[in-house]
């Protein structure tokens, strides 16, 4: 479902990734661990195209979505609109000024999956951190992703909300998605992930 081979990336002469490999099967939940600056975020950003790799191959069997530590919803819009924006990639411009009814219906389904139907019309800025992160996951679902890349999805959340989000990611892997989550808590990784991948700090730091 996701195959990364020999990924290389450097920023201004500093090598961050030097031949990174990872492959994830459908239904598999992989936790990515490693010290600050070891290039975990860079791997994920290369996969979704927010960074251009210097070399190597990235193969995604379908559609990759990303979830961020800082969540990155549009705080002034309601949860439903934020989830609908996941569908933009398949909407032509002239249909994306106002989200069409079928997209809104699909988005409601995604909100139901993350347990937030009743908050659909609340502004995201008014939701708690944990709820916001679940809206962001619903946005990934509305993107019809089969690969979810989560960059420290629970680092800003309290333990209870963190467990809720981890359970949700685990359940999505159970539905057959490939899930990669960057984590800083080894216990969470051991509890929820099928496999733990350690990244080493680049030597020439």
Partner 1 sequence: MSVTASPKLAVPRRRWPAPVVWVVVAVFLVVHVLAWQATEFSPAALIAGWEGMADFLAESLPPDFSVLGKSLEAAVITLYIGLLGTTFSIPFALALALLASRATTSAAWAQQAARAVLSFLRSVPDVVFALIFVTAVGLGPFAGVLALVFHNTGVMGKLWAEAMDESDRGPRDAVKVTGASGPQIALHAVLPTVMPSLAGLLLYRLDVNVRSSLVLGLAGAGGIGFLINQSIKLFRFDEMVTHILVVLLLVVVVDQASGFVRKRLGA
Ligand X SMILES: Nc1ncnc2c1ncn2[C@@H]1O[C@H](COP(=O)(O)OP(=O)(O)OP(=O)(O)O)[C@@H](O)[C@H]1O
Residues 6+ apart with CB under 8 A from 61: 1, 2, 26, 146, 147
Pick the binder of ligand X from 31, 33, 38, 179 (CB under 6 A): 38
**Interaction with partner 1 in 19-38: which residues (CB under 8 A)?**
none
Is residue 91 within the footprint of partner 1 (CB under 8 A)?
yes
Q: Starting from the edge strand earliest in sequence, which strands make up the sheet with 178-182, in order?
A: 64-67, 147-151, 178-182, 29-33, 195-198
Q: How far is the CB of 7 from partner 1 (least distance, A)?
A: 18
Sketch the per residue contact string, 130 through 169, with partner 1: x for CB under 8 A, - otherwise: ------x--x---x--------------------------
Q: How far is the CB of 199 from partner 1 (least distance, A)?
A: 21
On whether the CB atoms of residues 162 and 69 are closer than 8 A, the answer is: no
Quick one: tokens of 7? 């990924």
Distance CA 47, CA 51 (A): 8
Q: Report the interface residues with partner 1, using CB under 8 A.
A: 48-50, 63-66, 68, 70-77, 81, 85-91, 93, 96-97, 136, 139, 143
């Amino acid at each position: 479902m996701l195959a990364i081979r020999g990924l290389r990336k450097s920023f201004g002469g500093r090598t961050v990734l030097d031949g990174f490999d990872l492959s994830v099967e459908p239904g598999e939940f992989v936790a990515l661990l490693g010290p600050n600056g070891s290039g975990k975020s860079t791997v994920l950003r290369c996969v979704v195209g927010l960074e251009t790799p210097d070399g190597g191959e990235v193969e995604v069997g379908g559609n990759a979505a990303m979830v961020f530590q800082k969540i990155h919803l549009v705080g002034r819009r309601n949860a439903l609109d934020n989830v609908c924006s996941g569908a933009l990639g398949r909407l032509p411009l002239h249909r994306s000024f106002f989200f069409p009814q079928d997209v809104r219906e699909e988005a409601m389904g995604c909100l139901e999956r993350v347990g937030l139907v009743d908050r659909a019309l609340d502004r995201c800025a008014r939701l708690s951190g944990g709820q916001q992160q679940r809206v962001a996951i619903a946005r990934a679902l509305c993107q019809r992703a089969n690969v979810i890349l989560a960059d420290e999805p629970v680092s800003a959340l309290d333990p209870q909300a963190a467990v809720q989000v981890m359970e949700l990611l685990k359940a999505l892997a159970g539905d057959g998605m490939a899930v990669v989550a960057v984590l800083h808590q080894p216990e969470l990784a051991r509890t929820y992930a099928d496999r733990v991948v350690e990244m080493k700090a680049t030597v020439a730091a």
